[in-house]
Amino acid sequence: MTRATKGGISRRGFFMGVAAAAGALALPRGARAAWDAVSAVGTTEEDFVERHGMSLFGPLEMPPDFKHFPYVNPQAPKGGEFSQQIRQIGLNQNFSTFNTLNTYVLQGDGAAGMDATYDTLMSGSSDEPDALYGLVAQSVSRSRDGLVFRWRLRPQARFHDGSPLTAEDVAFSITILRDEGHPNLAQLLRQIESATALEPHLVEVRFVEGRTRDIPLTVAALPIFSKAYWEGRDFTASTLEPPLGSGPYRVGDFEVGRTISFQRVEDYWGADLPVNVGLINFDRIRYEYFRDRDVAFEAFKAGQFSYHEESVSRQWARGYDFPAFVEGRVVREDLPTAVPQGPQGWWYNTRLSKFSDKRIREALIYAFDFEWTNENIMFSSYARMHSFFENSDLKAEGPPSPEELALLEPFRAGLPDEVFGEAWTPPVSDGSGQDRALLRRASELLREAGCERRGSVLHLPSGEPFTIEFLDFASFLQPHTQPFQSNLGLLGIQATSRIVDPAQYERRMNDFDFEVTSRRFGASLTPGGSLRLVYGSEAAVTPGTANLSGVQDPAVDALIEVIANAQTREEVIHGGRALDRVLRAGRYMVPAWFKPADWLAYWDEYSRPETKPRYGTGVGTWWYDPEKAARARRR
């Protein structure tokens, strides 16, 4: 179960090698405290003091005059190609196909890599989890109350057709994404009151009272579109005409649904900026699409693409015996990662009456034998997913701390007692594949919920036979799902799988038209308002958002706001742990597995800096090495 949720493939994700960021009381005061921390000369209460970067917590690591990030090679040569299978998705993208180059709206199946064609106001560092530095913007300033931000643009910024990139373009981009963009973006951007060009190179964004802590960083990382290009065009429509961009790459050759490439812009205006030095090293970046993982792996072995992030334990354990690997022309690495691991599992659609009772949802968890699956299918490569914030200090463990209790107590009447005790963890089986004790407990829970066994068929409290359809767009999880479904059959539940084409799958996900589906969600080093999109009550009734399970809980909503408006990282941690306890208690999914490491395999045609960034693989710092490539590609 390795698919990442909406919000994945991004320019930051490739060039920095980091995972995509996922993200009660609104505290503008907290936002002010976070801003004050970024001053290189100390805190200040003055209005609109211009600075070279912004951070949620703590001072910026890089000074105003920094030349490049410490984990890059500033003399990295340019050239060659980097190619990969699509591994993460964001907004309207899916893994198996594409039919539009407009990736910021709901319509269509978006192509991978389009982020690289657009610039943003600011860009991040792979050494800092919550900091941004100037890209199109040479500086950023804000009002004393934290509700007005201004970005001063670099006059040399240009679109690919040579036209200047101005504050009008920035204001247009922010506004149209708020008003017509994908629901996952539009919902976040409703915190924006207005975006206005004050001068040709000065844009002002006004936020509503009570805005979340991280929304200014979200705005600073939005793509910038050409206002002139989009005049007279429907922004919400699918298109195969490459939209005008200003980023380091432009769309090259593509074949709809199969492959798309991007060519480095030779005269890219921002190539020498500190945030770009040592990056953007490949002349060509190419993404390949496959509907079957085994076919994709065979294509990688044959050299059809050069970089592969392995996610199939069977292949990692037994598949690397082909000649190119044995001869050292293909290498692989098991890299531990400090990046948080988001939740993954089989998610229930709690909007349906059959899954409205938590006891039913918990019973199905007892039917999944992780220990057997891990040993017999996944070569004991994984750990069981317990938390919604694995590999992170937001993971709840043991009983709640006093700080967590202070956040949870106002909701005690509506929360189960377990929230105030030891953090819940899924059951551990005897590894037999059909643990009788766990299945017996599952039967008890189903009876307590009003289900009745008649012969070999379990009936819901409504009297209907209990059936479950597992919806997916590919069959690669069937070896894991089928034993689970077999155990459900022992409980009298008829469980079946339906594999649909990727486009239909995305439509059904957008409409919440499913019973159970598998999904892996990304995780942020500093979660914030984006958590609303995955767990917020409003998102549960908004088509196209990522709240697949339909979580609607006032305690969850309040804790998300605590996290989104925290004044310190410690407050984020306490809020995250409290939220983790409440979400675990909801039994919204059958927890699957995770591995706090990246499995990388690649044709040995690249070199890299000696220093790896703290977060992510650092693949965006690599460069093509012709001598190594000649050896790797010899026949």
Give the pLDDT confidence of 129-185 residue by residue, as tens digits: 889 999 999 999 999 999 999 999 999 999 999 999 999 999 999 999 999 999 999
CA dihedral 316, 614, 130, 196 (to 10 degrees): -80
Please tell me the distance from the alpha carbon of residue 28 to that of residue 25, in angstroms, as a whole number.
10
- Please report, for residues 2, 264, 355, 357, 559, the alpha-carbon distance to residue 516 in angstroms, rounded to integers and kept in the order given: 16, 42, 10, 15, 26
What pLDDT is recorded for position 88? 83
Under a CB-based contact definition with an 8 Å cutoff, are residues 127 and 615 in contact?
Answer: yes
**Percentage of residues of the chain with pLDDT beyond 70:** 93
What pLDDT is recorded for position 635? 62
Is 263 exposed, middle or buried, given 0-12, 13-18 or 19+ CB atoms closer than 10 A? middle
Please check the confidence at residue 508 and state whether its pLDDT lies above 50.
yes
- Long-range contact pairs involving 99-103 (C-beta distance under 8 Å, separation at least 24): 99/238, 99/240, 99/256, 99/257, 99/503, 100/238, 100/239, 100/240, 101/239, 101/240, 101/241, 101/242, 101/243, 101/251, 102/235, 102/237, 102/238, 102/239, 102/243
Contacts of 459 (CB under 8 A, 6+ apart): 451, 452, 453, 465, 466
Please check the confidence at residue 1 and state whether its pLDDT lies above 60.
no
pLDDT tens digits along 612-623: 999 888 999 999
What pLDDT is recorded for position 532? 93
Is 231 exposed, middle or buried, given 0-12, 13-18 or 19+ CB atoms closer than 10 A? exposed
- Please report, for residues 220, 427, 635, the alpha-carbon distance to residue 437 in angstroms, rounded to integers and kept in the order given: 53, 10, 56
Token couple for 571: 């407050």
Mean pLDDT of 540-550: 95
Mean pLDDT of 43-69: 87
Q: Which range has the top average pLDDT, 27-31, 162-166, 210-214?
A: 162-166
What pLDDT is recorded for position 24? 26
Please tell me the distance from the alpha carbon of residue 479 to that of residue 315, in angstroms, as a whole number.
14
Mean pLDDT of 400-410: 98
Delineate the domains of the chain, giving CATH numbers in brackets.
11-76+88-230 (3.40.190.10), 249-336+598-632 (3.40.190.10), 344-590 (3.10.105.10)
**Beta bridge partners of residue 602, listed in sequence order:** 307, 331
Mean pLDDT of 15-43: 33
- Please report, for residues 239, 245, 632, the alpha-carbon distance to residue 267 in angstroms, rounded to integers and kept in the order given: 26, 13, 31
The pLDDT mean for the chain works out to 91
C-beta atoms surrounding 121 within 10 Å: 28
Please tell me the distance from the alpha carbon of residue 128 to that of residue 61, in angstroms, as a whole number.
8
What pLDDT is recorded for position 5? 40
Please tell me the distance from the alpha carbon of residue 349 to that of residue 565, in angstroms, as a whole number.
29
Residue for token digits 């022309």? Answer: 329
Please tell me the distance from the alpha carbon of residue 512 to that of residue 265, in angstroms, as a whole number.
40
Helix, strand, coil percentages in the chain from 3-state DSSP, rounded to 5: 30, 20, 50
C-beta atoms surrounding 7 within 10 Å: 28
Residue 293, SS3 per DSSP? helix
Strand 202-207 to 259-264 pairing = unpaired
Token couple for 406: 């202070």
Residue ranges with strand state E in 300-380: 307-309, 330-336, 344-348
Please tell me the distance from the alpha carbon of residue 136 to that of residue 119, in angstroms, as a whole number.
7
Closest CA to 245 of 125, 109, 103: 103
Strand 383-384 to 457-459 pairing = unpaired
What pLDDT is recorded for position 150? 98
**Beta bridge partners of residue 593, listed in sequence order:** 384
What pLDDT is recorded for position 47? 85
What pLDDT is recorded for position 42? 31
Q: Using CA of residue 445, residue 446, residue 449, residue 454, what is the dihedral sign?
A: negative
Please check the confidence at residue 626 and state whether its pLDDT lies above 60.
yes
pTM: 0.86
Out of 9-18, 115-124, 136-145, least confident range: 9-18
Angle between helices 554-564 and 569-586 (to 10 degrees): 160
